[in-house]
């Protein structure tokens, strides 16, 4: 008798079977249903069952007295004899009976000590099979259809299609051992997290290594450019650095290094592409070597410019997307370096290839929203205009600026137009004076040489002309005619842009820049535009929509027109005189102090340069009003105004009547009247000069005393050369207080206290007491009450 099995050992097996009982029943019922409907399958199962019983009997003899031989009836049901109940639990017995009723269950010796689910895979029962498989339904994937070209017959168009062939996946047999090489899993160890110090040290070491590599390549290229041109590519490849810890810094270093390399090794001429004939021709080794160097250089230079352009475009794309702040800041730093490199190349290699491409890339950045990039480009374009002697680069930049302003519908930053003020254009080609500006050089004909020169002289003359032509080619000097033509075309585009804004966008923020530009280049405008332009300027002033600075620019533009070619026109700009006379009171020590320079330029154009068209009454009215304004402006403005009055007193000698206090005329001076011709300024006197002689600024006192003496050119009251030889605008700039300092420095004097009886010097005790009180309190929180008490105690 086998020992009775403990009930506590069975729950693991029973629990395992009970957990999937529902699924097991469903799958067994489906299988039973299929087997019952198929006679062929049923006969096959019966045959397998008989063979299994035969095999079991042959392997394990079973005593007859203990277990009877199982029999199979016609319905393929297993009849089970009674077994001792002490061999298994009631639950196990009931479970085995239920499984025995299934046709797919394999009959085996129930007395065997081997568990039911321990048979091999080929003879495993259905329970064991479904327990070992994943517990999920296998869905058959939908077959994809490929649409083919249709065919056409008499019935019409017939579409064609086919199933997409599916490559079956080879799955290993469940019985076999899986391939150890395919399923071998390397146990991953614990990932070590680096500390902040280790990351910083790693970055420093990596960055140091990259710096050494960049320096090595750059030194090799500069040492022998012709033989090391391939190393430019190696250096340029470092722009694709993948290490995120040093990628941004390495790219910046590479961009700047390549900039300096190209500036050093680029030739002083423009490399032109070779023709097919030149490529096919046989040349010397030195020539071939030079050609290979130039070809490699121009190729790498082109790729470098493309990298700079891509860096800027990537940053613009990053701005439009919502990215993290760190990446946006990194792209912005790279873009700033790229813009700086392009600006340097535009200024340093203006003679080299792709210069116009650089201008096309940089000029639109004048209107960039990022102020640092816009200012960098603005300064570069201004410098380009100032150093461009021929005019090719200036013409290209002005064309792009004009197109940019028009394409954005005049909604650009004023700095875009302010750069045009730095153009080096002093004269242009005028239609009526073309022959005078560019006269044709008279060359001696062969007959004249033969008639006037001897044989030896003709020989020397021919050699001299040949030498002059070679010198002109070597110096690359441009003719005056070509230079004037470029300047004329450039200025025409500038005026076209200005006139478009005056016509279509008078309320735009660009109007001040337009008026300032017209004020500078108005003397170069053709006469046919003068009348229309003066009418537009007068309407702008009368509209009242302009601020003070813009109105001054309108006046300045009008008189610039009349002071140049407009001298031949018989026009009296009375409205402009009246407007400036009326608005002079707008100058003050506040925000309009910087506008004094424009007002001084207007006064010089209106009164000094047009002295023949100015009446004495108008000159007296301006002198008197300027003296009044000088009382409430800053010292530099006061000096400029007094210098202007000095020039007017010398230009109009009869205006010294304002220095005579005893002279009396008919009428009364009307300072509030805005008409300079009818304010009766001759009945007044410049009493303001006596007040200005007590001004705290020494130069103001000098000018006031000089004007009181009649502005003499010689004698003790004459000005020193440093003051008399400088214009009013120059004096205004020399004594400017924008840097919060005095010029000249105010000397330190001993403080004095005024009393009713007179003036006495401050005592040393009082000085020490004040200094002690000031030392106790911060400078921004001074307690003046304690100082007052100290002063009262001293008295």
Predicted local distance difference test score (pLDDT) of residue 356:
92
Enumerate the β-bridge partners of residue 163: 145
| pLDDT at position 266 over 50 | yes
Predicted local distance difference test score (pLDDT) of residue 167:
52
Please report, for the chain, the start and end positions of each structural domain, with discontinuous segments joined by +: 7-132, 201-274+281-353, 572-734, 761-794
Higher pLDDT, 219 or 788: 219
Express each pLDDT in 16-39 by its tens digit. 444 467 777 777 777 776 666 666
Q: CA–CA distance from 287 to each of 222, 226, 231, 294, 510 (Å)? A: 20, 12, 21, 11, 54
Four-CA torsion 267, 268, 270, 272, nearest 10 degrees: -50
Enumerate the β-bridge partners of residue 162: 146
CB within 8 A of 323, min separation 6: which ones?
Answer: none
Predicted local distance difference test score (pLDDT) of residue 97:
59
Please give the helix or strand (H or E) that residue 739 lies within, else none.
Answer: none
C-alpha–C-alpha distance, residues 703 and 724, integer Å: 10
C-alpha–C-alpha distance, residues 237 and 5, integer Å: 78
Enter the pTM of the model. 0.60
Q: What is the mean pLDDT of the chain?
A: 76
Instruction: For strands 78-79 and 145-153, give the pairing.
Output: unpaired
Give which of 581, 584, 601 is closest to 677, Cα–Cα.
581
Q: How far does CA 661 lie from the centroid of its chain?
A: 65
3-class DSSP assignment, residue 194: coil
When pLDDT is cut at 50, 70 and 90, the band that residue 128 belongs to is very low
Express each pLDDT in 305-354 by its tens digit. 999 999 999 888 877 765 666 678 888 889 999 999 999 999 999 889 99
Report yes or no: 465 and 374 within 8 Å, Cβ to Cβ: no
Q: 622-638 in b/e burial notation, b at 16+ Cβ within 10 A?
A: bbbbbbbbbeebbbbbb
C-alpha–C-alpha distance, residues 48 and 263, integer Å: 92
Predicted local distance difference test score (pLDDT) of residue 147:
73
Omega into 631 within 30° of 0, i.e. cis?
Answer: no
Report yes or no: 569 and 530 within 8 Å, Cβ to Cβ: yes
C-alpha–C-alpha distance, residues 174 and 8, integer Å: 33
| pLDDT at position 753 over 70 | no
Report yes or no: 229 and 296 within 8 Å, Cβ to Cβ: yes
pLDDT > 90 fraction of the chain, expressed in percent and rounded: 26
C-alpha–C-alpha distance, residues 651 and 603, integer Å: 13
C-alpha–C-alpha distance, residues 684 and 479, integer Å: 58
Express each pLDDT in 556-582 by its tens digit. 888 888 876 666 666 778 889 999 999
Backbone angles phi, psi at 753, to 5 degrees: -120, 125
Higher pLDDT, 68 or 423: 423
C-alpha–C-alpha distance, residues 644 and 636, integer Å: 12
CB within 8 A of 92, min separation 6: which ones?
Answer: 10, 14
When pLDDT is cut at 50, 70 and 90, the band that residue 391 belongs to is confident
Q: Provide DSSP, 429-456.
A: --GGGHHHHSPPPPPPPHHHHHHHS-HH
When pLDDT is cut at 50, 70 and 90, the band that residue 665 belongs to is low
Predicted local distance difference test score (pLDDT) of residue 619:
93
3-class DSSP assignment, residue 763: coil
Instruction: For strands 156-163 and 145-153, give the pairing.
Output: antiparallel
Four-CA torsion 204, 207, 208, 212, nearest 10 degrees: 180
C-alpha–C-alpha distance, residues 594 and 637, integer Å: 8
CB count within 10 Å of CB 466 equals 10
Average pLDDT over residues 517-543: 83
Express each pLDDT in 244-253 by its tens digit. 888 889 999 9
Enumerate the β-bridge partners of residue 761: 752
Express each pLDDT in 623-644 by its tens digit. 999 999 999 999 999 999 999 9
Give which of 100, 97, 79, 78 is closest to 88, Cα–Cα.
97
Provide the token pair at 786. 């304690």
Q: What is the DSSP code (8-state) at residue 166?
A: -
Report yes or no: 298 and 353 within 8 Å, Cβ to Cβ: yes
3-class DSSP assignment, residue 300: helix
C-alpha–C-alpha distance, residues 770 and 783, integer Å: 11
pLDDT > 70 fraction of the chain, expressed in percent and rounded: 69
C-alpha–C-alpha distance, residues 505 and 412, integer Å: 12
Give which of 570, 579, 677 is closest to 613, Cα–Cα.
570
C-alpha–C-alpha distance, residues 715 and 713, integer Å: 7
Which residue has tokens 């660009």? 510
Higher pLDDT, 552 or 321: 552
CB within 8 A of 207, min separation 6: which ones?
Answer: 246, 249, 250
Express each pLDDT in 361-385 by its tens digit. 999 999 988 889 999 999 999 999 9
């Amino acid at each position: 008798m086998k020992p009775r099995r403990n009930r506590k050992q069975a729950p693991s097996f029973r629990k395992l079977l009970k957990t999937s009982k529902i699924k097991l029943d469903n799958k067994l019922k489906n299988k039973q249903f299929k087997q019952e409907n198929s006679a062929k399958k049923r006969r096959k199962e019966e045959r397998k069952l008989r063979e299994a019983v035969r095999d079991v009997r042959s392997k394990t003899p079973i005593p007859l007295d203990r277990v009877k031989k199982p029999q199979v009836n016609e319905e393929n049901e297993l009849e089970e004899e009674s077994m001792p109940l002490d061999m298994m639990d009631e639950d196990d017995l009931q479970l085995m009976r239920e499984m025995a009723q299934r046709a797919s269950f394999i009959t085996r010796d129930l007395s065997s000590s081997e568990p039911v689910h321990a048979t091999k895979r080929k003879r495993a029962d259905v329970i064991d099979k479904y327990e070992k498989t994943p517990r999920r339904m296998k869905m058959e994937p939908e077959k994809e259809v490929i649409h083919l070209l249709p065919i056409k017959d008499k019935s019409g168009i017939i579409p064609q299609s086919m199933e997409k062939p599916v490559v079956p996946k080879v799955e290993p047999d469940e019985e076999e051992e899986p391939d150890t090489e395919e399923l071998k899993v390397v146990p991953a160890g614990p990932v070590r997290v680096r500390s902040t110090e280790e990351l910083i040290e790693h970055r420093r070491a990596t960055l140091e290594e990259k710096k050494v590599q960049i320096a090595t390549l750059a030194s090799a290229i500069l040492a022998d450019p012709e033989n090391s041109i391939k190393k430019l590519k190696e250096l340029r490849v470092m722009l694709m650095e993948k290490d995120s810890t040093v990628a941004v810094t390495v790219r910046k270093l590479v961009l700047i290094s390549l900039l300096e390399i190209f500036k050093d090794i680029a030739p002083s001429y423009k490399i032109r592409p070779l023709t097919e004939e030149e490529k096919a021709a046989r040349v010397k080794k030195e020539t071939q070597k030079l050609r290979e160097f130039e070809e490699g250089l121009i190729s790498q230079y082109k790729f470098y410019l493309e990298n700079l352009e891509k860096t800027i475009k990537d940053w613009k794309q990053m701005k439009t997307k919502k990215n993290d702040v760190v990446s946006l800041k990194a792209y912005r730093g790279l873009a700033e370096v790229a813009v700086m490199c392009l600006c340097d190349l535009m200024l340093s290699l203006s003679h080299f290839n792709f210069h116009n491409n650089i201008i096309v890339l940089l000029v639109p950045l004048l209107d960039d929203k990022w102020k640092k990039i816009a200012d960098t480009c603005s300064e570069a374009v201004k410098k380009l205009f100032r150093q461009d002697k021929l005019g090719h680069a200036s013409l290209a930049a002005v064309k792009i600026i004009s197109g940019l302003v028009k394409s954005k519908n005049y909604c650009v930053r004023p700095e875009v137009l302010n750069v045009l003020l730095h153009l080096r254009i002093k004269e242009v080609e005028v239609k009526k004076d073309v022959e005078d500006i560019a006269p044709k050089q008279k060359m001696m004909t062969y007959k004249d040489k033969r008639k006037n020169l001897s044989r030896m002289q003709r020989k020397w003359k021919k050699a001299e002309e040949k030498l002059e032509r070679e010198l002109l080619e070597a110096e690359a000097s441009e003719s005056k005619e070509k230079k004037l033509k470029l300047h004329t075309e450039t200025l025409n585009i500038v005026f076209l842009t200005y006139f478009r804004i005056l016509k279509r966008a008078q309320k735009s923020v660009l109007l001040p820049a337009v008026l300032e530009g017209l004020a500078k280049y108005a003397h170069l405008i053709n006469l046919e535009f003068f009348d229309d332009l003066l009418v537009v300027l007068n309407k702008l002033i009368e509209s009242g929509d302009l601020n003070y600075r813009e109105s001054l620019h309108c006046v300045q533009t009008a008189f610039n027109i009349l002071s140049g070619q407009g001298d031949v026109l018989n026009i009296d700009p009375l409205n402009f005189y009246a407007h400036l006379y009326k608005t002079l009171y707008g100058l003050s020590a506040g925000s309009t102090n910087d506008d004094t320079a424009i007002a001084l330029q207007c006064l010089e154009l209106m009164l000094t340069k047009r002295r023949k068209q100015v009446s004495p009454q108008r000159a007296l009215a301006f002198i008197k009003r300027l003296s009044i304004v000088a009382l409430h402006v800053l010292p530099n403005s006061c000096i400029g105004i007094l210098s202007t009055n000095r020039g007017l007193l010398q230009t109009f000698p009869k205006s010294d009547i304002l220095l005579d206090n005893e002279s009396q005329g008919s009428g009364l001076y009307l300072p509030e009247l805005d008409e300079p011709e009818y304010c009766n300024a001759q009945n007044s006197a410049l009493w303001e000069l006596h007040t200005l002689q007590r001004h705290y600024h020494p130069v103001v006192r000098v000018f006031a005393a000089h004007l009181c003496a009649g502005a003499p050119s010689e004698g003790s009251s004459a000005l020193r050369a440093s003051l008399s030889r400088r214009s009013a605008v120059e004096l205004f700039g020399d004594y400017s207080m924008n840097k919060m300092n005095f010029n000249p420095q105010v000397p330190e004097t001993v403080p004095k206290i005024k009393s009713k009886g007179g003036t006495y010097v401050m005592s040393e005790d009082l000085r020490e007491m004040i200094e002690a009180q000031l030392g106790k309190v911060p400078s921004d929180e001074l307690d003046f009450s304690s100082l007052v008490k100290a002063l009262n105690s001293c008295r």
